[in-house]
Amino acid sequence: MIDINLIRENKEMVKENIKKKFQDKKLVLVDEVYELDQEYRKIKLEADEKRSKVNKLSKEIGALMREKKIEEAEKVKEEVSKIKEEIPKLEEMEEKLEKDIKERMMVIPNIIASDVPIGEDDSKNVEEAHFGEPIVPNYEIPYHADIMASYNGLDKESAAKASGNGFYYLMGDIARLHSAVLAYARDFMIEKGFTYCIPPFMLRSSSVDGVMSFEEKENMMYKIEGEDLYLIGTSEHSVIAKFKGELLKEEDLPITISSYSPCFRKEVGSHGIEERGVYRIHQFEKQEMVVLCKKEDSDTWYDKMWNYSVELFQSLNIPVRKLVCCSGDLADLKYRSCDIEAWSPRQKKYFEVCSCSNLTDAQARRLGIRYRKENGEKEFVHTLNNTVIAPPRMLIAFLENNYQEDGSVIIPEVLRSYMGGKEKIEVKSR
């Protein structure tokens, strides 16, 4: 949620930002907020003046009573009584206007960075850098589900019977590899100075509304029937909500957390759930990185975080590239974002495995997360998040880039201790 002062002082800039995100239908909201805010401030001022007058007259009554001027005191009491009758109506109007303003402010997108590429959708995202050499071997690399099946490692048919389409059983060495990369990612981030966290896997609606747009909530989140709880789609939402309503100390910033969780997503409006593979599914696990910091530090942390992803994937022999997200591909709360995409030698193209975002103070304003500066002033923190690793999707890149001609998969040295010393996974006969 943006600062309402931006609308008060420069509503045309806010409108221009909406146009850059190709959300022209929201332009009317800016004018509505501007007009509602003017009415709100007018009503609030009137209510404040009447409350102040009541306090002043109440003191006069006390003075008149002490001076035994009973008749005059009674007249002032009548005046106070009339004013008090007017205040509740003003307060009711004030509350309604405040609610109407907030509803619209929650839908107006965050201001994007000046260097974000302008484009309607992800087809206009901009490739910025490559890391590692993308290689296509001179032998065929099977579809990832077939690689997993060759190790008796994937069973989607049984999962479809048990839970429906979009779920899976991972078995044997593939299941172990899945846990290994998560454990490696956890330790990788701990070595970077992040605090490891396992957060709640469900959130109240007030917390969900604080960390994501209404459209994202509708398309992603599973609602628990009969309760004010949602299954989380990503753990950074739980981590940010941990600090809801808090006034932090400046010396405690930055707060750096790496969180593990299962993630649950409806995938409404996506490209569809895969029948065979595990690229787009309803349930997966993820190691995340989250930072709460001061405004002046957020761009520095953004660069650190996506670079951590590059470093980690390169340690697993996976070439990656950085893809800068254009304006139309940014979720409403994001100031800037980039995807780290892994090379697929089978498809001869890159695909997304990490998403790094700076949301400035948009989430903090919604959730009331501030810190007290040395001079006593209070300021909203900036929040950032990035995927560390999200298997089983990242396993696709891992298996393809470490796949050998004999059907085995090499285990990079950094993972071997998490795999019981195994140097490779070999084909199993059913």
Report yes or no on 419 lying in a domain. Answer: yes
Domain boundary among 80, 105, 130: 105
Report yes or no on 75 lying in a domain. Answer: yes
Tokens representing 260 are 């593990």
* Residues β-bridged to residue 293: 382
Domain boundary among 39, 70, 105: 105
Both 187 and 83 in one domain: the answer is no
Tokens representing 326 are 């254009």
Both 138 and 93 in one domain: the answer is no
Report yes or no on 406 lying in a domain. Answer: yes
The CA-based angle 70-76-79, given to 5 degrees, is 145
pLDDT for 25 equals: 97
Both 240 and 375 in one domain: the answer is yes
Both 168 and 37 in one domain: the answer is no
Report yes or no on 62 lying in a domain. Answer: yes
Report yes or no on 265 lying in a domain. Answer: yes
CATH of the domain at 155: 3.30.930.10
CATH of the domain at 67: 1.10.287.40
With tokens 């484009």, the residue in question is 119
pLDDT for 268 equals: 57
Both 24 and 145 in one domain: the answer is no
Domain range spanning residue 97? 4-105
Report yes or no on 117 lying in a domain. Answer: no
Q: Report the distance separating Cα 98 and Cα 359, nearest Å.
A: 24
With tokens 């221009």, the residue in question is 16
Report yes or no on 114 lying in a domain. Answer: no
Q: Report the distance separating Cα 14 and Cα 17, nearest Å.
A: 5
pLDDT for 271 equals: 54
Both 278 and 410 in one domain: the answer is yes
Both 132 and 249 in one domain: the answer is yes
Both 275 and 336 in one domain: the answer is yes
Both 9 and 65 in one domain: the answer is yes
Closest CA to 289 of 272, 305, 266, 313: 305
- Beta strand pairing call for 382-389 and 283-293: antiparallel
Q: Is 181 helix (H, G, I), strand (E, B) or coil?
A: helix
pLDDT for 274 equals: 59
Both 100 and 131 in one domain: the answer is no
CA 157 to chain CA centroid, nearest Å: 33
- Beta strand pairing call for 320-324 and 283-293: unpaired
Tokens representing 148 are 């997993």
pLDDT for 276 equals: 75
Span between the terminal Cα atoms of the chain, in Å? 54
Both 96 and 137 in one domain: the answer is no
Report yes or no on 282 lying in a domain. Answer: yes
Domain boundary among 74, 105, 136: 105
What is the H or E stretch that residue 287 is in? strand 283-293
pLDDT of the chain, 430 residues: tens digit per residue: 899 999 999 999 999 999 999 999 999 999 999 999 999 999 999 999 988 888 888 888 888 888 888 888 888 888 888 888 889 899 999 999 999 999 999 999 999 999 999 999 999 999 999 999 999 999 999 999 999 999 999 999 999 999 998 899 999 999 999 999 999 999 999 999 999 999 999 999 999 999 988 778 888 899 999 999 999 999 999 999 999 999 999 999 999 999 999 999 987 555 555 567 898 889 999 999 999 999 999 999 999 999 999 999 999 999 999 999 999 999 999 999 999 999 999 999 999 999 999 999 999 999 999 999 989 999 999 999 999 999 988 999 999 999 999 999 999 999 999 999 999 999 976 5
E strands present in 132-240: 154-155, 169-170, 195-197, 202-203, 222-223, 230-231
Q: What is the DSSP string of 8-58?
A: HHHHHHHHHHHHHTT-GGGHHHHHHHHHHHHHHHHHHHHHHHHHHHHHHHH
Looking only at Cα atoms, what is the longest distance across the chain?
106
Domain count, the chain: 2
Both 135 and 92 in one domain: the answer is no
